[in-house]
Structures are given as C-alpha cells and as structure tokens.
A and B are shown apart, each in its own frame.
Chain A
Amino acid sequence: MLEHTELFFKSIFIDNMVFATFLGMCSYLAVSKKVSTAVGLGAAVIFVLAVTVPLNWLLDQYLLRDGALSWLGPEYADYNLSFLSFILFIATIATMVQLVEIVVEKFSPALYNSLGIFLPLIAVNCAILGGSLFMQAREIPSLGLAFNYGLSSGIGWFLAILAIAAIREKIRYSNVPPPLRGLGITFIITGLMAIGFMSFGGMLTGGDEAAPVPEETAVQEKTEEEKMNLEEDAEQNVVSYNAIEKE
C-alpha cells in the first residue's frame, strides 16, 4: 500500500510529465488557450494512459523482455524481443486512441468538436508513449503499480495543462512585451512552474534513504559466497598439494 501511495504522489508531483520530462509539450502548448478544452484533453490523456500503460506492461512482461517467452516452454526462454517494444507499444496506443475517439464522438459531440484535430493526435502525444517507455525503463514490478503509474502520470499532466490554461486565460489582460506574446511567454511561465514543482523533490527522500539496504545485504551475501569459494579453493589446493607430495 505504501509503495502505491509513494508512486502515486511521485508521478504527479516529482516526476510530473510536463515539468520534469517535457512529455506531451506539443498538445500542452497548442490546446491550453481555454480551460474547457484543456480539461477535455486532460481527461482523455488520463484515460488513455491508465489503459495503455497496464496493457503495455502485460506486453512487456509476457512478450518482449529478456526471457519473457519462457511461459511458452523452455526452448523459448532465450528470446529477447525488446527491440520490438517501440512498434508494439505504439500499435497498442493507436488502437486505444481510436477507441476513445469513437466513444467520445458518440457520447459528447461538443467535446469532439472542440478537441478537433487533437484527439487523433493523442496517438502521437509523447506523454502517452513516454508513459509506457518510462514504465519499461523503471521496471515497474506489478500490474497494479503499472495501472497506478499510468493513472497518476495522467493526473499530473492534467494538472499541468489545467494550470497553464487558467494562467493563459488571465494573461490576455496583461501587458506582455509584443515579441513574447503567445508562445514565448507560455514557455517562460512553464519554466517558472517547473521550478516551483522542483520544490516537491524533497517530499519523498525518506524512501530513497531506505532503498540502499538490500544492496548491502546483497554485498554481504556475495562476500560470504566468495569466502566459501576461497575455502573450497584452499581445500583443493591442499588436496593437490598432498597429491604432489605423495608422488
């Protein structure tokens, strides 16, 4: 339970997709002019991430990673298909996005119209593929945690786009230097927000301090093994020495 809570808050605040890793910046910048559209896109991202990350976790676990095919039988245990992960992940994502598009078009035509071109482009939103690739890179251990990771990263992205949309609605009334208007000021505001989000970095240091303990025990075990090996070697040496003496 603790690791779930930790991952949840970590993905929302510390490893926020927009502020820490710049994922999904294109749609973040393009669709953040109005709060209502931003909310729609944010919700779609949460949904797609929460579905695709666990799906891709299953793919990674049972198809792609080194030795993942061993459930088929021992002769498949040596296969490592991880070079295929980009293409399989993006295929899963494209399919899921198509599904979301159909559902949104059916149930909320207003939202469908306002999202316009960006709904199909969720498929090429870096945040979605990035979620799956980070899930693979960080070796998230269970399906539940993978779901948690997808959901919370989506929520983090949602928060970011909501905040910037609200700021951009207000900034229209301020006197921004003309060359900075629009894109420029949005970049700088995002940078400042990212600096703000960095202050969450100290939130979970307790977990990091606890982490090195298993490494130490591993080291001790190793040394014990080495001792055993050394003793064995010594015994063998003695035996061979005795054998030489006998000769």
Chain B
Amino acid sequence: MAILSKKDSKLILDPLADNNPITIQVLGICSALAITAELKASIVMALSVLFVLGLGNVVISLMRNIIPSKIRIIVQLVVVATLVIIVDQVLKAFAYELSKTLAVFVGLIITNCIIMGRFEAFALGNGVWRSFLDGIGNAAGYGVILIIVGFFRELLGSGTLLGFPVLGNPIEKTGLYAIGYENNGFMLLSPMALIVVGILIWVQRSRNPALIEEN
C-alpha cells in the first residue's frame, strides 16, 4: 500500500488479526452472533457496521474538541443512532426481506460495544483520517469473524452458501448426500454460534501464543 504510511496500514491490518475486536478485545459480540446462521445476513451486517463505524469515527473525530467530556456518551449515542437509522431505512427500502431477517439486530448496532469502544478509545483522541482508517479496520476485523462464522454455520447447517446449494441436493440425494452425508441442523441454532467463535479463538491463540490469557 503506497498511499498509506506504515503506521496507517497498521491501523487497518492490526484489527484483522492480532487485535481483533471480537476474539481479542471482546467487543461487539452482542448483535453479531444471532444473525450468523446465514452467510448473506452476516455480510449485510458486516457492511452495515463498516458504514456506521467508518463514518461515525469521522464525525466524532471532527467534533472531538467541542464535545464536553461529561455528555460525550449521549453525543456519541446520537451520532450512532442517526447513522443506524439511515442504514435501517436503506435496508427497508432496498432489501426488505433481509431487513426482516435481521429484525431488531440492525437497531442493536447502536449498542454494539465495538462502536462505542472505538469512539472512546480512538476517535476522541485522534485525527480524522486516522480515525477513519481505525474505524474501517476494526469494522473489517469484526466483519471477517462474522463472515467466517456465517460461512461455517450455513455450510454445515443447511449445505448452502448465500442460498445456493453447494453440497448437492438433500432430497434427491445428489452430491455429498449420495454417500450418506447429512446436514447438521444443530449448527443453525443459536448456541452453536458461541461454540464456533470459541473454536476460532482456540485456533487463533494456538497459532499465536502471545495472546494466551492468564487464568
């Protein structure tokens, strides 16, 4: 990346792996896991958060010198709520079915800890461009986990990806189903999202022992 200095590209790349908002910082799990039963919903959710966090970080960073610190949480909430209302209305207008699937979870982006967490930790103390990069980076780190979880849950749970059957037809017994493969319907239930994320954390930390926590 020639446009970005080394420091700036670190802002984007760090949250993708070693400082991932979900698996390391423990932020933004709330609204993430319930909608990962389908890959499509996960992607839309990731994009919505990318939009809200990228723009929100810019707005907060622009206002960082005029926000009185006592009421900053309310100011931040108003900024996020406005952006989320925009996302919600756009989804309702252009992807009505999907907005029904996501239901209240679009609204819950407001209280997604990752957004408040980045506002507090970064945008309030840094310039506009760096805040924008930080927002994009963290939202991408969040999105990556969402998409990985959504990928495995949809693939193993219903044998499809983005709604297309990739493992064959379970009723006509073609593809993998011909040799006796069955969908694991359990993957579609909410507890499995937690366990899949738990396993992701396990994999990530075994690859990078520096991240291991003390008991």
A-B Cβ contacts below 8 A, count: 148
Is B88 within 8 A of A187, CB to CB? no
Is B194 within 8 A of A190, CB to CB? yes
User: Which residue of chain B lies nearest to A190 when distances are taken between CB atoms in the complex?
Assistant: B194
B192 to chain A, nearest CB (A): 7
Interface residue A183 (Cβ < 8 Å from any Cβ of B): yes
Interface residue B212 (Cβ < 8 Å from any Cβ of A): yes
Contacts A94-B73, A120-B73, A124-B113; is A181 near B215 (CB within 8 Å)? yes
Main DSSP-derived SS at the A contact region: helix
Interface residue A134 (Cβ < 8 Å from any Cβ of B): yes
User: Which residue of chain B lies nearest to A97 when distances are taken between CB atoms in the complex?
Assistant: B73
Residues 1-45 of A contacting B (Cβ, < 8 Å):
19-26, 29-30
Residues 100-157 of A contacting B (Cβ, < 8 Å):
120-121, 123-130, 133-134, 136-137
Report which residue of A177, A183, A188 has the largest number of chain B beta carbons within 10 angstroms of its beta carbon: A183
Contacts A87-B78, A184-B201; is A126 near B111 (CB within 8 Å)? yes
Complex CA–CA separation, A130 to B35 (angstroms)? 14
Q: Which residue of A83, A136, A191 contacts B198 across the interface (Cβ within 8 Å)?
A: A191
User: Which residue of chain A lies nearest to B208 when distances are taken between CB atoms in the complex?
Assistant: A179
Contacts of A192 in B (CB 8 A): 191, 195
Interface residue A166 (Cβ < 8 Å from any Cβ of B): no
Chain A interface: which size bin? 35 or more
Complex CA–CA separation, A222 to B210 (angstroms)? 67
Interface residue B143 (Cβ < 8 Å from any Cβ of A): no
Complex CA–CA separation, A29 to B194 (angstroms)? 12
Contact with B along A150-187 (1 / 0, CB 8 A): 00000000000000000000001000111111111101
Q: A91-B74, A130-B30, A178-B205 are in contact. List 18 more A-B contacts (CB 8 A).
A: A22-B32, A22-B33, A25-B33, A84-B85, A87-B78, A87-B82, A120-B73, A121-B113, A124-B116, A125-B111, A130-B104, A130-B111, A172-B215, A176-B215, A180-B205, A181-B213, A187-B198, A188-B195
